[in-house]
Structure 1
């Protein structure tokens, strides 16, 4: 790799001031994610215009689509951790090999998941609680979405390669550009325009497929030729095995940990389905708004791991500790401010997504309670990403199991059983507080042991 390409788009993560470095890495990610997720809300808005059944149907798809996206995120986490460590100790050729192998692995994995997904649509969504009427809408959307997943996996891994090198601007441009293309195509393909027929929910999925396919073409060109962060060829089988070993060691537990969240979400969606389609629609809208409310946490969870991985590779563990503590303090304060905004504007947000009084009331209730717990939830998210960046993926996986299936799902179900839907919302906050306390203590002790070794 040439010196120019090795440094292109990269920041000095090993020596520059911690606060300024994290800020300069996080802000581009924040802008890109705000735009992408705002476009996702627009997507939900257009589907909501089709009717309550369509809005409920798209809400049922969230746990499944998030499960598959989480799997790709896990692969990206493994990729970023391995490449970041290689770059931290100046092993650039190994970083190239690992990046190429990760992209090849992402393609194979996405293709297999698309095939399995298409043939299991009816049993999976029936299990989640969808009735026959909603299944027809879900089927037309998910067949196209599964195909689009092939074009999603590789850009996500490619963005992880860029972030591992210290470049967070380009991934934000890719996310924002894809989201913009999606939102432009949405009304055209959903409602029809000129010679283009109205495709309904299938049109929304097709818009996503086109946006992701264009993003894939750009990211491959950028990585292979402009940045030289991957090799412009396919790897041999021996090279692929060698490059994927370290990635899968971190990526598989990380993917498992990430997939647990939407699986738990699917369980709770089934619980919410017992309150009727209106409750499911409100739950889905609340989930989309949660993504916007947690945008800073999500951006930090992508910018903090490359910082940790490179400093871990260079054995700068004191910088790792300072960065983690700084991020934890920031997200708690920030999310309390976000809760205040959501509480005051809950009615405005609710009426923007539905005209039915029942759905409006449920969305408003969600927004006046659930966001109170986003700060402590952020501690758990940042701790999980920090564990993976420190090459401790099993700790991250165990933390996710603890959070979701020891605390979150059981306590939320109990809250629903005792105090209906509002009780479920409050119980989720209690579960996140308990998990955050465990996560913080666990990571600090693990890091102290590494520093003392």
Structure 2
């Protein structure tokens, strides 16, 4: 209980910048390692061939969908749990956590069963060419098994972060990521497993993370209590979870749809284009995941303090992360532009066509990455406060309302160059929308009312 109370003290009384670092750095490291092992997967698969890179890129949207299920219940519950802890409603917070975890696993398992039954047509719809399909199928069948455990991992990761257990979250992700990177070359080159080797490495890594999360939940170190008797699904509870969880799910579904459509359109330009855009997507996801990871610590801090009535503390945290985030994006964009050639060569040094296409796409995305922190931070802030409408608009805008029409129109009008330009232009539109939403919020509320959150109900 001592560690539990120290985490509450961290959220409630610690110096803002120090608290944000203690909460955000561990989750950022964990998310960074998760993104890094995705890059490592592509690096080793790149040694096998262009079709194999394409296979991993084709299956990736399916993983994003299951990530969305984990976030639907995990991130949705995380926001509500942080607000419940802010008003000392510990029993209700434990009930919310248990219900969310079990709901996530059951939903994910049903969805994965459906994917398995219709795997071939799904992979072809995602852009698998005849040369890519065999590799994509053998990779996907193993990855699907690992996704069952990963839905649990994602849900638990978000929920324990809500109580300030950032270090435990980091250790689980870090252990899985390191093991994945170590096993990739073992399965691929020593056991000659080909693209299946990457999937086996991922499966083992997710099992390790699963074990660490289970140990933490059973250890009694958590402020929350996880037991089957606390599984009490009710519509009022799901309303609170879904209010924030649905925008997160929609974001992941649109992200998956975006990658699927991109792969489908890219397949019309050949396997090299599918591989090139898949590489760039993994590279850009590293920076994005680091921002998302840090904000996983920021989100419960905002929810807890706004719910507890500490408005100035919450606003100070937002100002701080905006400065940190924009500096990070500036440095990241600069490094990607200056070092694009050695970065891309390390993934596909034997295919000049892949390098040519990837160079254009990486530089274009690196330029607009400058505004990534601004839109993500404000989106997270809205969701942390329970403002699903504003947070949902930001989630839908970048990958949905803006990207989907742009990618078809630009590809039709300008071919491959239009396909490459679609995501950067969608980002620009999204940033403009966030500016409008933030300014609208400021005009509607007097200073003393900014960030006021409706108190969460103690009973559901």
TM-score (normalizing by structure 1): 0.91
> Does the CA contact (< 8 Å) of 1:300 and 1:382 recur in 2?
no
The answer for unaligned runs of 5 or more in structure 1 is none
1:449 and 2:445 correspond: yes
* Residue of structure 2 equivalent to 1:40: 38
**CA distance in 1 between partners of 2:108 and 2:10 (Å):** 33
* Residue of structure 2 equivalent to 1:421: 416
**CA distance in 2 between partners of 1:158 and 1:96 (Å):** 12
1:372 and 2:370 correspond: no
Aligned residues: 447
> Does the CA contact (< 8 Å) of 2:73 and 2:101 recur in 1?
no
SS of equivalent residue, structure 2 residue 409: helix
* Residue of structure 1 equivalent to 2:399: 404
1:71 and 2:81 correspond: no
* Residue of structure 1 equivalent to 2:341: 347
- CA 1:114–1:443: 2 relative to 1, 3 Å: same
**CA distance in 1 between partners of 2:432 and 2:253 (Å):** 22
* Residue of structure 1 equivalent to 2:88: 90
TM-score (normalizing by structure 2): 0.90
* Residue of structure 1 equivalent to 2:434: 439
* Residue of structure 1 equivalent to 2:304: 310
**Which string of whole-angstrom CA distances, capped at 9 and with x for unpartnered residues, describes residues 237-257 of structure 1?**
646767545323432343123
- CA 1:309–1:128: 2 relative to 1, 3 Å: same
Q: Which moved more, 1:273-282 or 1:418-427?
A: 418-427
CA drift of 1:428 comes to: 2.8
1:298 and 2:292 correspond: yes
* Residue of structure 2 equivalent to 1:54: 52
Residue 101 of structure 1, aligned match among 94, 99, 102: 99
1:265 and 2:259 correspond: yes
**CA distance in 1 between partners of 2:213 and 2:108 (Å):** 17
- CA 1:4–1:237: 2 relative to 1, 3 Å: closer
- CA 1:188–1:9: 2 relative to 1, 3 Å: farther
Q: Which moved more, 1:52-61 or 1:39-48?
A: 39-48
Q: How does 1:190-201 map to 2 (within 5 A)?
A: 190-193=188-191, 198-201=192-195
**CA distance in 2 between partners of 1:163 and 1:236 (Å):** 19
**CA distance in 2 between partners of 1:389 and 1:376 (Å):** 20
**Which string of whole-angstrom CA distances, capped at 9 and with x for unpartnered residues, describes residues 79-121 of structure 1?**
2101101111111121112111122112211211210111121
CA drift of 1:345 comes to: 0.9
> Does the CA contact (< 8 Å) of 1:8 and 1:227 recur in 2?
no
Q: How does 1:187-336 map to 2 (within 5 A)?
A: 187-193=185-191, 198-235=192-229, 238=232, 244-336=238-330
